[in-house]
Amino acid sequence: MKFFVDTADVKEIKELNHLGLVDGVTTNPSLILKSGGKIAEVTKQICDIVEGPVSAEVVATEFPQMMKEAEVLAKIARNVCIKVPLTLDGLRACRAIRNDLGRQVNVTLCFSANQALLAAKAGATFISPFVGRLDDTGFDGMELISEIRTIYDNYDFKTEILTASVRTVNHVKQAALIGSDVITAPPATLRALVSHPLTDKGLAAFVADWAKTGQKIG
C-alpha cells in the first residue's frame, strides 16, 4: 500500500520524505490556503522534493475552465496529478485530461460506490473516497472502501483506490486490510503509525540495562 501525505506544508513533506514515508502528496484548495503560498509555487516546491504523484486540484466547476486550469497545473512539473471533483463535468475532464494531456487524474470528493464506478469508467488513475467525512455524518467510511474494492475487482478496473480524509491510525489499518491501493493522511497520522506504548516501554528497559553493562558497540 502506498502512503501519500495530505498536506501542502513543504517542511513537513521534506521531513517525512527523509523518513521514506512519502510515495506521493495530495493537496486541495483548503490545504493551499493553510500553506499561505501560491498554488503554482507551492506545487512546484513539492514536486521538486517528491518523485511520486503530487495531486493539484482544479477549482473551476465547468468543463472548459477545468481544462484550462488542468493545462496550467500540468505545466508545473511532470509528476503533477490533476485532481478533479466527482461531478459530470469533472468526469468529462477526467477523460480529456487522460486522453489529451496524458496526465494522471485523481477524482476527488467520492462518497458512494456508484460515484467510484463512474470514475473508473472515466479512466481515473485514482479515486479518492473520503472516509473521515463519511464517518462524521454517521456512515461507515471503511464500508465504502470495501464496496469499491469489490466492484473494481469484479471488473478488473485499474483505477487505484486512494483512501482519503483519513483521521486515525485505525483508518490506515482498515484500509490496508481491505486492500486499498493508497492512503493519504495528514503528517501527524503518518507519524503516529509508529507509536506503541510497549515499544516505548521495552526500549526504555533495553537502554537502561545496556547502560548497566558498561559496554559500547562501535
- What is the contact surface with ligand E4P in residues (CB under 6 A)? 6, 26, 28, 108, 128, 130, 132-133, 164-165, 184
And the C-alpha cell for 1? 500500500
The smaller minimum CB distance to ligand E4P, of residues 35 and 108, is found at 108
Q: Is 83 a catalytic residue?
A: yes
Please choose, from the candidates 169, 164, 198, the residue with its C-alpha nearest in 3D space to the C-alpha of residue 182: 164
- Report the amino acid identity of residue 163: T
Name which of 45 and 184 has its Cβ closer to ligand E4P. Answer: 184
Comparing CB distances to ligand E4P, the nearer of 59 and 203 is 59
Q: Pick the catalytic residue from 83, 121, 201, 212.
A: 83
- Beta carbon nearer to ligand E4P, 26 or 35: 26
Q: Are 184 and 5 in contact (CB under 8 A)?
A: yes
Instruction: Give which of 16, 11, 3, 79 is closest to 48, Cα–Cα.
Output: 79
List the grid coordinates of 139.
456512515
CB 172 to ligand E4P: min, Å: 12
C-alpha cell at 36: 499561505
Q: State the Cα–Cα distance between residues 170 and 215, nearest whole angstrom.
A: 40
Angle (deg, nearest 10), helices 113-121 and 88-96: 30
Cβ proximity of 4 and 24 under 8 Å: yes
Over the range 11-23, which residues count as b (16 or more CB within 10 Å of their CB) and which as e? ebbeebbeeebbb
The residues annotated as belonging to the active site are: 83
